[in-house]
Homo-oligomer: A and B are copies of this chain.
Amino acid sequence: MPKIIDHDERRSHIVDVTWELITQGGIEAATMREIAAAAGFANGALKLYFPSKEDIIQATYERALGMMREYVELDELRGLTALRELCVSSMPIDEDRIAAGRVLLTFWQLSLTNPKLQDKYLEHIRSWRGLLHRYLAEGREDGDIVTETPDEQLVDEVVLINAGANVMSLVAGEFSTIALQRQHLESFFARLTRP
């Protein structure tokens, strides 16, 4: 009887392996050769599942996004409450999320020279910023958010603090602690509720 190969399972296994290589050894460790070896494939066989390294990196990045999406529980929420949940849950506030930041750092690096990965990232940023705008608008409608700071500036502030925290928790976590991240968000939310 021929062996049945589960294509999706193989792809998922390759992403697991790439995730491990990136979080353990960084971008330099995640070569096609290393990925194939760690996944137990002959070098050329990877191509059956992913046409190029770019595709593997993209799938690994999507795993990171998917992981973050699972942390964020937005159902039923709106306005300020939804905003708070979205902002807090997507910060690198535990070991797993800090590791996901490492995948993100690799993805940023590669997206700088790869238009396809860059498009993917801009698509994510557009939808994230859109969601932040929506919750801010709802929060103003509900009368919870009254700050005079324009929404576009608030959205960008959340994005910069989040990106900065992802980097700093990796490269200088002894200074930029999780406790400080929480304080930044608390101060931010307090400001939203004041004119």
Interface residues of A (CB under 8 A from B): 25-29, 102, 105-106, 108-113, 118, 121-122, 125-126, 129, 149, 152-153, 156-157, 159-165, 167-168, 170-172, 174-176, 180, 183-184, 187, 191
Contacts and interface: CB of A to CB of B under 8 A. Distances in A.
Nearest to A111: B171
B29 A187 contact: no
Copies per complex of this chain: 2
9 contacts: A29-B113, A102-B112, A122-B174, A129-B175, A153-B183, A157-B184, A159-B176, A161-B161, A163-B167
A26 B184 contact: no
Contacts of A164: 159-165, 167
A152 B25 CA distance: 31
Contacts of A161: 157, 160-161, 164
A141 to B, nearest CB: 23
A167 B167 contact: yes
A167 B159 CA distance: 10
Contacts of A163: 163-164, 167-168
A174 B152 CA distance: 13
Contacts of A125: 172, 175
Contacts of A170: 108, 112
A26 to B, nearest CB: 4
A187 B153 contact: yes
Contacts of A152: 180
B153 A180 contact: yes
A125 B129 CA distance: 29
In the A-B complex, the 4 residue pairs with the closest CB atoms = A160-B164, A164-B164, A163-B164, A26-B113
